[in-house]
Amino acid sequence: MEQERIDVRCCIAGGGPAGMMLGLLLARLGIEVLVLEKHADFLRDFRGDTVHPSTLEVMHELGLLEDFLKLPDDEVATLYGQVGPTTLLVADFRHLPTHCKFVALMPQWDFLDFLANAAKRYPGFRLRLQAEATELIEAEGRIAGLRAKTPEGTVEVRADLVVAADGRHSLLRERAGLEVIDLGAPIDVLWLRFSRHAGDPGQTAGRFDTGRILVMLNRGSYWQCAFVIRKGGFEAIRAAGLPAFRETLASLAPYLADRLDELASWEDVKLLTVRVDRLRRWHRPGFLCIGDAAHAMSPIGGVGINLAIQDAVATANLLGQALKRGAPSESELEAVQRRRSPRLPPANRGADALPRRSRRRAQGLGRHQAPHRRRRPAEALASSGAALHRRCRPCHVADRRHRHQSGCSRCRCDREHSGGTVARRGDSD
């Protein structure tokens, strides 16, 4: 059978948040793009589904927000945690300089279907399901395309740019020979679900006890639960038996006691092995990694898919014009990594990781400064919401349909294209 061949400007491996958003943004710029997704659809449970205000802002800029918010979702403006018998407000998004001052919780498959339908409005966009990218094609010292397995056989794709958005277990980054820096992760997560009854609390919340954390996401008819365990601790939990595990859950959320039998076997518990890593270099000539393929994140805070979305926005902003001409240069690919590379913890970056004030004090220059003013509780809560927002490192669509209101912070990626000088919060560090 003759091998199928496709020629495009950009081929994206992986139909997750990073891949679908990048496909939409490039097609919107008039660039021919092909997205390959190895599954037959997006319907997979227990995937990242915490849509932060930074992502909602992108949807607003694309003119898609109104339709997007018509999808079933749980809009959370404040996050609560329960420590023993005490319920605490731990983060408040109501003061962010964004159009949506809340987190939208929705199944990831609804999010991806929405992006796919929006992208299909553009003639240059193609989505190929059941197509798994397995090999890279090299020619004249650069990545010139890839090969993908499909039910009909092997497909050869030739492209000016191949983007690996195929997740934390990326096959293409391995094929490209890019070095992975394992930063370690002390936890794993067990995903499970229980039905939701009329008398249950309505608020999505985290429940904390000594050495135990249970996060419960309100899905309307059911609770989607994340039970945080120590790294590699699942086998010990299994050895203790399912009844003991049920009792642990009931101690954290007593109102689940009447439905614990819904956890019928260990098949109802899905293990997420948490990885936190970074690529030392995200690119080779003709090739770029984004999202979890470039920087796998901890699920704590639910920032992973939002970082992936922001990677896609930055990539489209920085490479869109280059792709219209042909293959982006190495320096243009490097610009994406410079803009989006996550800040490593101090232990990984040395003294340069310390904020400026801390460095000055370490050098004996700040000992006479006035003591730091203690923030009021409301300020601290607003700051917690803002910290989660900043952790996504927001970017804005360069050629956006809707502009920001006065005073809204803008990222450096956007500033490069607009010629403006508006500072981003946090740049002083």
54-64 pLDDT, tens digit per residue, is 999 999 999 99
Claim to verify: residue 198 and residue 321 sit in the same structural domain = no
Q: What's the one-letter identity of residue 23? A: G
Over residues 29-34, mean pLDDT: 98
* Residue 211 pLDDT: 75
Over residues 168-188, mean pLDDT: 93
* Residue 207 pLDDT: 85
On the question of pLDDT at 424 being above 60, the answer is no
Higher pLDDT: 164 or 372? It is 164
Claim to verify: residue 290 and residue 213 sit in the same structural domain = no
- Confidence label for 344 from pLDDT (cuts 50, 70 and 90): very low
Residue 41 sits in a domain whose CATH number is 3.50.50.60
Flag whether 257 is in a domain.
Answer: yes
Cα(267)–Cα(278) distance, integer angstroms: 31
Q: Percent of the chain, pLDDT > 70?
A: 79
φ, ψ at 173 (rounded to 5°): -65, -30
Q: Model confidence over 108-149: pLDDT tens digits?
A: 889 999 999 999 999 999 999 999 999 999 999 999 999 999
Over residues 66-91, mean pLDDT: 84
* Residue 389 pLDDT: 65
On the question of pLDDT at 328 being above 60, the answer is yes
Rounded to 5 degrees, what angle do the CA atoms 208, 209, 214 make? 45
Cα(242)–Cα(236) distance, integer angstroms: 11
Higher pLDDT: 219 or 188? It is 188
Claim to verify: residue 268 and residue 283 sit in the same structural domain = no
Claim to verify: residue 175 and residue 191 sit in the same structural domain = no
Higher pLDDT: 298 or 363? It is 298
Flag whether 93 is in a domain.
Answer: no
CB atoms within 10 A of CB 127: 19
Q: How many domains does the chain have?
A: 2
- Confidence label for 356 from pLDDT (cuts 50, 70 and 90): very low
Claim to verify: residue 12 and residue 116 sit in the same structural domain = yes
Pick left, alpha or beta for residue 209 (phi over 0 → left; psi -120 to 50 → alpha; otherwise beta). beta
- Confidence label for 90 from pLDDT (cuts 50, 70 and 90): confident
32-41, 129-138, 155-164, 379-388: segment of lowest average pLDDT: 379-388
Flag whether 8 is in a domain.
Answer: yes
Is the pTM higher than 0.85? The answer reads no
Over residues 297-320, mean pLDDT: 90
171-185, 261-275, 362-376, 384-398: segment of lowest average pLDDT: 362-376
Length of the chain equals 429
On the question of pLDDT at 164 being above 70, the answer is yes
Claim to verify: residue 16 and residue 110 sit in the same structural domain = yes
Bridge partners of 214, per DSSP, are 207, 227
* Residue 205 pLDDT: 75
Flag whether 297 is in a domain.
Answer: yes
Flag whether 150 is in a domain.
Answer: yes
Claim to verify: residue 191 and residue 300 sit in the same structural domain = no
Which of 306, 340, 374 corresponds to the end of one domain? 340
* Helix (H), strand (E), coil (C) string for the chain: CCCEEEEEEEEEECCCHHHHHHHHHHHHCCCCEEEEECCCCCCCCCCCCEECHHHHHHHHHCCCHHHHCCCCCEEECEEEEEECCEEEEEEECCCCCCCCCCEEECCHHHHHHHHHHHHCCCCCEEEEECCEEEEEEEECCEEEEEEEEECCEEEEEEEEEEEECCCCCCHHHHHCCCCEEECCCCEEEEEEEEECCCCCCCCCEEEEECCEEEEEEECCCEEEEEEEEECCCHHHHHHHCHHHHHHHHHHHCHHHHHHHHHCCCHHHCEEECCCCEEECCCEECCEEECHHHCCCCCCCCCCHHHHHHHHHHHHHHHHHHHHHHCCCCHHHHHHHHHHHCCCCCHHHHHHHHCCHHHHHHHCCCCCCCCCCCCCCHHHHHHHHHHHHHHHCCCCCCCCCCCCCCCCCCCCHHHHHHHCCCCCCCCCCC
Claim to verify: residue 124 and residue 257 sit in the same structural domain = no
Which of 308, 340, 372 corresponds to the end of one domain? 340
Question: Over the Cα atoms of the chain, what is R_g?
Answer: 23
Claim to verify: residue 305 and residue 178 sit in the same structural domain = yes
Flag whether 160 is in a domain.
Answer: yes
Claim to verify: residue 170 and residue 313 sit in the same structural domain = yes
Over residues 229-251, mean pLDDT: 95
* Residue 419 pLDDT: 34
Domain that residue 248 falls in:
187-272
* Residue 425 pLDDT: 30
Cα(94)–Cα(108) distance, integer angstroms: 24
Q: Model confidence over 387-411: pLDDT tens digits?
A: 666 666 788 898 776 554 433 333 3
On the question of pLDDT at 290 being above 70, the answer is yes
Over residues 241-263, mean pLDDT: 93
* Residue 387 pLDDT: 66
Higher pLDDT: 298 or 345? It is 298
Claim to verify: residue 209 and residue 146 sit in the same structural domain = no
* Residue 382 pLDDT: 45
Claim to verify: residue 153 and residue 167 sit in the same structural domain = yes
Flag whether 251 is in a domain.
Answer: yes
Cα(104)–Cα(423) distance, integer angstroms: 27
Flag whether 55 is in a domain.
Answer: yes
Which of 245, 272, 299 corresponds to the end of one domain? 272
**Closest of 35, 5, 31, 3 to residue 17, by C-alpha:** 35
